[in-house]
Chain A
Amino acid sequence: MQSKKIGKQTINYLHPVSIVSFASIVGPKEGQGPLGSSFDYILADNLDGEKSWEKTEQKMLEHSLALALAKKNYLPKDLDYFLAGDLLNQIVCSNFTARAIGIPFLGLYGACSTLVEGLVLGSILIDGGYGSRVGVASSSHHETAERQLRFPTELGVQRTMTAQWTVTGSGAYILEDSPNGADIVITQGIIGKVIDLGQANAMDMGAAMAPAAADTITQYFKDTGRNPEDFDLIITGDLGNIGRVLCQQLVLQSGYDISKKYSDCGVLIYDPAQDTHAGGSGCGCSASVLAGYLLPQIIEGKLRNLFLVGTGALLSPTSTQQGETIPCIAHGIVIQGNR
């Protein structure tokens, strides 16, 4: 008999859940990046006519959900649940979006792993039969994250080479229980453990998050008995240039060579010439890259399947100032095409 759980951590969806619609919105810098042409909507500037950056981020999240719904001619009331999260205190962007659309809502916080956390949970809801249509979304905004986690945006500081650039972007997904012939199907998920190997530098999140990502990737292969060769693409959320290399090494130490299949959303989203140093980060990073760049490739048949691992650094400015190290988490999801 097939089981809904494989090994220690992997979730096996017995009724594969399909992603029937998705949409992405990004800021101007991301629009100028290598993936610029693949996003649904690019903001003219980081404020986009709103009074505050927080408001812009909230609008961006709301609009990406509206776009995803509009693509299928759905209305918010057609959703059974809405799952969302962002990086702001008390996840206000998601709460305010939920206020606007008025459907049952679960707010999530998994730092930058929030999107994958939402996809895993949304699929559980559908596979369990607790609903037939779920909206999942997450967002991040460069300026709101900077002012909350680091410095005022106009302060003239030099960023370290390991620092990552928070992506202004959001992505929304509609998950549905559609038994026959969906283009994109979520077949498996994995819920990660919180891992902390003592990294305390908030300017080098990639190095802090890499062990969590490596742990989740290795655990998935151990649980399922699959190999990196079984995937067309293994992609982490926002490890950036430095975390990417570390993650690859750690996974190799555990006996799996992912180097040929492995990439990272934070590395893909910016061009090195854009002076973002170690690459992109933030909830919006994996959310926009998955919707804008990866899923279309699955529909076109360029990718047969992919293993997306969302990575999150679970720190707060207070914890950093108090000298705490950075606990990190990584959740994974396996997405398959039908072609």
Chain B
Amino acid sequence: MELKIIEKRVKERQRELLEIKKFNDTEIQLINEELQKDYQKLIFFESRENDEAARLNIKDLRSKVIEQQDLVKKYLQIRYARLVNKSAPKIPVLKNALAAFFVGGTICVIGQIILNVIVINGVPNKEATTITLMVMVFISALLTGMGIYDEIGRFGGAGSIIPITGFANSIVSPALEYKREGYVYGVGAKVFTIAGPVLLYGSLMSVIIGLVFFIIK
């Protein structure tokens, strides 16, 4: 009997909710309380029902109540999100872009200088590139250890994350961080927490691309 009443109420509410914008906060709160009450009753009936088919019916009705609850929730969320967006601080895009360009550019220039110096000293180009990468990774690791690289990152953003120095930073910083938890469960287990996704999907992509090349050839 009570189940019928709830069913009717859910149907009526479905129509009401179409015009949710007309309700004020107190009315919305009342709707929410009514939904809570219906939900509670339904789960109670469901727990008492022995007949499988009837049970599924109640469950169906309960999922409708959940949908209605979500609808009210969504409405309130969107309304608040609008307010938040209005008061969101402006992101200094130009300043950030210039900083990234300057920092990223500087890192690349330093890399190029090192490469040129090595090549001038008679090392073949391919080996020279590898040595340059090693030097850059070393510099980045050293700066991370000295607590300087995170300051560069704060200023340079993507400019200091994208070059290989950023990758080195992402491995050295967790290594430093988790040293206190020991070398096995600390450093050993957590050293790739930031770089892990790059390593995994980087390797995966290289395998896929390798396969593609293999097939094309």
Contact partner, B84, options A151, A154, A156, A199, Cβ 8 Å: A199
Flag if B84 contacts A246 (CB, 8 Å): yes
Flag if B177 contacts A161 (CB, 8 Å): no
Knowing A154-B173, A156-B149, A158-B157, say if A198 contacts B73 (CB, 8 Å).
yes
- A-facing residues in B11-67 (Cβ within 8 Å): 25
Q: Tell me how far the C-beta of B91 lies from the nearest C-beta in chain A, rounded to whole angstroms.
A: 6
| Distance A207 CA – B87 CA, assembled complex (angstroms) | 9
The A interface is mostly helix, strand or loop, or mixed, namely: loop
Q: Tell me how far the C-beta of A211 lies from the nearest C-beta in chain B, rounded to whole angstroms.
A: 6
Flag if A154 contacts B176 (CB, 8 Å): yes
Flag if A198 contacts B160 (CB, 8 Å): no
Q: Tell me how far the C-beta of B94 lies from the nearest C-beta in chain A, rounded to whole angstroms.
A: 14
Contact partner, B88, options A152, A158, A242, A254, Cβ 8 Å: A242
Flag if B88 contacts A147 (CB, 8 Å): no
Interface size class of B (residues with CB under 8 A): 35 or more
- B-facing residues in A208-253 (Cβ within 8 Å): 211, 241-242, 245-246, 249-250
Which of A147, A158, A278 has most B Cβ within 10 Å?
A158
Q: Which residues of A contact B25 (CB under 8 A)?
A: 254
Q: Mark B82-100, 1 if CB is under 8 A from A, else 0.
A: 0110011111100010000
Asked whether any CB of chain A lies closer than 8 Å to the CB of B132, the reply is no
Contact partner, B173, options A153, A159, A245, Cβ 8 Å: A153
Asked whether any CB of chain B lies closer than 8 Å to the CB of A100, the reply is no
Which of A160, A161, A254 has most B Cβ within 10 Å?
A161
Asked whether any CB of chain A lies closer than 8 Å to the CB of B133, the reply is no
| Distance A9 CA – B176 CA, assembled complex (angstroms) | 47
Flag if A246 contacts B83 (CB, 8 Å): yes
Q: Which residues of A contact B172 (CB under 8 A)?
A: 154
Q: Which residues of B contact A275 (CB under 8 A)?
A: 154
Q: Which residues of B contact A249 (CB under 8 A)?
A: 83, 87
Q: Tell me how far the C-beta of A262 lies from the nearest C-beta in chain B, rounded to whole angstroms.
A: 15
Contact partner, B177, options A153, A197, A254, Cβ 8 Å: A153
Flag if B153 contacts A157 (CB, 8 Å): yes
Q: In chain B, what residue has the closest Cβ to A246? A: B87
Q: In chain B, what residue has the closest Cβ to A248? A: B87
| Distance A153 CA – B155 CA, assembled complex (angstroms) | 15
Flag if A198 contacts B173 (CB, 8 Å): no
Q: Which residues of B contact A207 (CB under 8 A)?
A: 84, 87-88
Knowing A152-B173, A152-B174, A152-B176, say if A157 contacts B84 (CB, 8 Å).
no
Flag if A197 contacts B89 (CB, 8 Å): no
Which of A151, A156, A250 has most B Cβ within 10 Å?
A156
Q: Which residues of B contact A154 (CB under 8 A)?
A: 144-145, 147, 149-150, 169, 172-173, 176-177
Flag if B147 contacts A158 (CB, 8 Å): no
Q: Which residues of B contact A241 (CB under 8 A)?
A: 89
Asked whether any CB of chain B lies closer than 8 Å to the CB of A319, the reply is no
Asked whether any CB of chain A lies closer than 8 Å to the CB of B194, the reply is yes
| Distance A242 CA – B170 CA, assembled complex (angstroms) | 30
| Distance A275 CA – B151 CA, assembled complex (angstroms) | 12
Q: Mark B151-170, 1 if CB is under 8 A from A, else 0.
A: 11111111011000010011
Q: Mark A315-326, 1 if CB is under 8 A from B, else 0.
A: 000000000010
Asked whether any CB of chain B lies closer than 8 Å to the CB of A51, the reply is yes
Flag if A197 contacts B153 (CB, 8 Å): no
| Distance A207 CA – B90 CA, assembled complex (angstroms) | 15
| Distance A157 CA – B84 CA, assembled complex (angstroms) | 24
Q: Which residues of B contact A198 (CB under 8 A)?
A: 73-74, 76-78, 80-81
Interface pairs (20), CB distance under 8 Å: A51-B180, A151-B194, A152-B194, A153-B173, A153-B177, A155-B170, A156-B144, A156-B161, A158-B96, A158-B155, A159-B154, A162-B88, A198-B78, A198-B81, A204-B84, A241-B89, A242-B87, A246-B83, A249-B83, A325-B77
- 6 new A-B contacts at CB < 8 Å, known A154-B177, A158-B153: A154-B176, A155-B169, A156-B160, A161-B90, A245-B87, A246-B83
